[in-house]
A and B are shown apart, each in its own frame.
Chain A
């Protein structure tokens, strides 16, 4: 009975594919994960010379990916905040998915960071001898604390597994922990607020890099607030995107349309606020911050290929446009508009992180510097692919064995009539 080997672990009443089929789906991802582990292993054993980073391009693909996935993973804190603190009850339908995405994104980012630093075994020095003035200290503290919080939030989801909850201790602990989850949601919100912000601050404080440097409020540069806003804005968009993707892959309906609409509206509102703030910030930067450091802002965009198009793409194409779509009820009601808009919003934030990390380092600061380019080595790319594969594997496991979408059972009946014309990928999980 290989086919039904793990039946008793699967939530009652949901349809999951057979074990061999699930293993078949996992196989390429596990392969990719192993390749990623090998790549990362090379970097850890042989050193970072395995990468194409260098003294001038001290940060590369990894930091860009870390910043991006942490922004996309912001759905975890923001949904938790809306559900447990502001009591948006509908979001219960996606909170578990948000938590799993959060765990995946944050643990993946942490893993990539551990490979990225030259002496990972000394990472704990940051806790032991913290420089409280460094944005990176704030990031390290908040991200590691938040990862712990996320894992604790993930625990009830795991313990709620049909088989595991037959063990009384697990059942009882899950029950009691779930009652206190709002405390963790609060702590998570606090931590996320600060680390999303300080990730932005990371570059905003770089006085020596006028392209990234921003003025700010108190100790925080404006990017601190922009990062929080943008992360909160795309978190829900990313949830829409992943839920939609899982729906497409599995051929199931997983959340009610109301939930999609609510996420879209939240994302739209925050995104428009972000676009406004970003525009104001950019204008201040062009007209005041950058010139005061002796750098005319227009010069940054004279280095090809980073022309002004990148600014346009970031603010208008991937900011304003999706914001408007998400804010228009008629448009967002249709998947054909909603999904591209959510994807654009996610691209926008990725582009923003790209500009902050990669473009900042590419631009010369000394007059005899060159404009630099950098292509990641296969070891770097492999590590990133490994992180992606890790995310897919963890999410697949969670989706198969845990109750990620509580509304799935309810929605099962609505999808039934189309059963005959299920997509080819149906029943993948």
Chain B
């Protein structure tokens, strides 16, 4: 193995064989060390939430990764290459520049009996962000999200003062067997926590002022997105074995959908809907 070991001959065979062996060792070791070093760097830079989202996003089925502009029918098919962070997206920027989002006619969109006030912006993980007058942003579950989780069994909110980031965990909600990580629509520092009854869960002081909210859905985008989400919900329910009247029949999602499907794997349904495969 080494020139000083018994029986070592400096021949072509030895040099080629051991050369290849050491190369393999070096390559494998380098790869591992590289991965470890990168992981260490990520951890120290606090990129865990970012990576968790990227990893989750990567595992979403292709249909779930559709670009928002496909939902609105602007583009025929496109998979989001930026993990739903449209702030980095050139296509989005161009699109916005070409067709500024149409303001919706009413102040509130009603979709299958669910209300989506348009004073706020929606994250594809079923949260909304509403800029407040004091420069903070309130974060809450949208109507579909609320109905999916009904009255939560438990809510785990971050401590005020902690940080949340876009697509990172905002808070956790337990409902039946479901344990859902709700994704944050904004970057910032938590200044106040709410509750189901107060209508919001977090009040966040954004890092950047004004806050960049390009990645959130708004106005006319909400409706097509919601239609798509209901389709997904339908699919998820079917997949998880729901046998009760399906939504496609025109049924309106009840206030507590979970209780309507007692035999369904609610964890799987929520995972699907809250973008957490």
Is there direct touching of A and B in the complex, by C-beta distance under 8 Å? Answer: yes
Q: Which residues of B contact A145 (CB under 8 A)?
A: 21, 24-25, 28
The minimal Cβ–Cβ distance linking A68 to chain B, given in whole angstroms, is: 25
Tell me whether A187 is interfacial, beta carbon within 8 Å: yes
Known: A130-B1, A138-B17, A152-B28. A176 touches B35 (CB 8 A): yes
The winner among B21, B235, B238, B276 for most chain A CB atoms within 10 A is B21
Q: Which residues of B contact A176 (CB under 8 A)?
A: 34-36, 38-39, 42
Within 8 A of B (CB), among A150-190: 152, 165, 168-169, 171-177, 179-180, 183-184, 187, 190
Whether B1 lies near A416 (C-beta < 8 A) is no
Closest to B7 in A: A129
Chain-A contact segment, one of B49-57, B95-103, B129-137, B182-190: B49-57
Out of B21, B47, B61, B276, which one reaches A410, CB within 8 Å?
B61
The minimal Cβ–Cβ distance linking A76 to chain B, given in whole angstroms, is: 16
Whether A169 lies near B31 (C-beta < 8 A) is no
Whether A413 lies near B24 (C-beta < 8 A) is no
Closest to B267 in A: A12
The winner among B21, B35, B38 for most chain A CB atoms within 10 A is B35
Q: Which residues of A contact B272 (CB under 8 A)?
A: 13
Whether B27 lies near A132 (C-beta < 8 A) is no
Out of A132, A171, A175, A187, which one reaches B14, CB within 8 Å?
A132
Whether A187 lies near B238 (C-beta < 8 A) is no
The minimal Cβ–Cβ distance linking A202 to chain B, given in whole angstroms, is: 16
CA distance A168 to B51 in the complex (A): 9
The minimal Cβ–Cβ distance linking B50 to chain A, given in whole angstroms, is: 10
The minimal Cβ–Cβ distance linking B153 to chain A, given in whole angstroms, is: 15
Whether A131 lies near B7 (C-beta < 8 A) is yes
Whether A173 lies near B39 (C-beta < 8 A) is yes
Tell me whether B158 is interfacial, beta carbon within 8 Å: no
Out of A129, A174, A190, which one reaches B5, CB within 8 Å?
A129
Known: A128-B1, A131-B7, A141-B21. A149 touches B14 (CB 8 A): no
Q: Which residues of B contact A13 (CB under 8 A)?
A: 239-240, 265, 267-268, 271-272, 277
Known: A172-B43, A175-B55. A184 touches B28 (CB 8 A): yes
Out of B13, B21, B54, B177, which one reaches A7, CB within 8 Å?
B177
Q: Which residues of B contact A152 (CB under 8 A)?
A: 28, 31-32
Whether A148 lies near B238 (C-beta < 8 A) is no
Q: Which residues of A contact B54 (CB under 8 A)?
A: 175
Whether B17 lies near A172 (C-beta < 8 A) is no
Tell me whether A409 is interfacial, beta carbon within 8 Å: yes
Closest to B37 in A: A176
CA distance A219 to B13 in the complex (A): 10
CA distance A406 to B276 in the complex (A): 14
The minimal Cβ–Cβ distance linking B106 to chain A, given in whole angstroms, is: 36
Whether A413 lies near B39 (C-beta < 8 A) is no
Whether B31 lies near A173 (C-beta < 8 A) is no
Q: Which residues of A contact B18 (CB under 8 A)?
A: 130, 132
Tell me whether A412 is interfacial, beta carbon within 8 Å: yes
CA distance A8 to B179 in the complex (A): 9
Whether B177 lies near A12 (C-beta < 8 A) is no
Out of B6, B51, B268, which one reaches A129, CB within 8 Å?
B6
Within 8 A of A (CB), among B30-79: 31-32, 34-36, 38-39, 42-43, 47-48, 51-52, 54-55, 59, 61
Q: Which residues of A contact B27 (CB under 8 A)?
A: 183, 187
The minimal Cβ–Cβ distance linking A226 to chain B, given in whole angstroms, is: 22
Out of A138, A141, A172, which one reaches B51, CB within 8 Å?
A172
Closest to A127 in B: B1
Closest to A7 in B: B177
CA distance A416 to B235 in the complex (A): 12
The minimal Cβ–Cβ distance linking A236 to chain B, given in whole angstroms, is: 24
CA distance A285 to B27 in the complex (A): 39
Known: A152-B32, A175-B51. A416 touches B241 (CB 8 A): yes
Tell me whether A370 is interfacial, beta carbon within 8 Å: no
Whether B239 lies near A412 (C-beta < 8 A) is yes
The minimal Cβ–Cβ distance linking A17 to chain B, given in whole angstroms, is: 14
The minimal Cβ–Cβ distance linking B269 to chain A, given in whole angstroms, is: 8
Interface code B237-261, partner A: CB below 8 Å = 1, 0 otherwise? Answer: 0111100000000000000000000
Whether B48 lies near A171 (C-beta < 8 A) is yes
Known: A152-B32, A175-B54. A130 touches B43 (CB 8 A): no
CA distance A412 to B239 in the complex (A): 6
Q: Which residues of A contact B21 (CB under 8 A)?
A: 141, 145
Q: Which residues of A contact B235 (CB under 8 A)?
A: 413
Whether A12 lies near B268 (C-beta < 8 A) is yes
Whether A172 lies near B1 (C-beta < 8 A) is no
Whether B48 lies near A409 (C-beta < 8 A) is no
A–B pairs, 16, beta carbons within 8 Å: A13-B268, A13-B272, A13-B277, A129-B6, A141-B21, A169-B39, A169-B43, A172-B43, A174-B55, A176-B34, A180-B35, A409-B61, A413-B235, A413-B239, A416-B239, A419-B241
Additional 20 contacts, C-beta under 8 A, given A145-B21, A176-B39: A13-B268, A13-B277, A129-B1, A129-B6, A129-B7, A130-B1, A132-B17, A145-B25, A152-B28, A168-B48, A169-B43, A171-B52, A172-B42, A172-B48, A174-B55, A175-B54, A177-B39, A187-B24, A190-B24, A413-B235
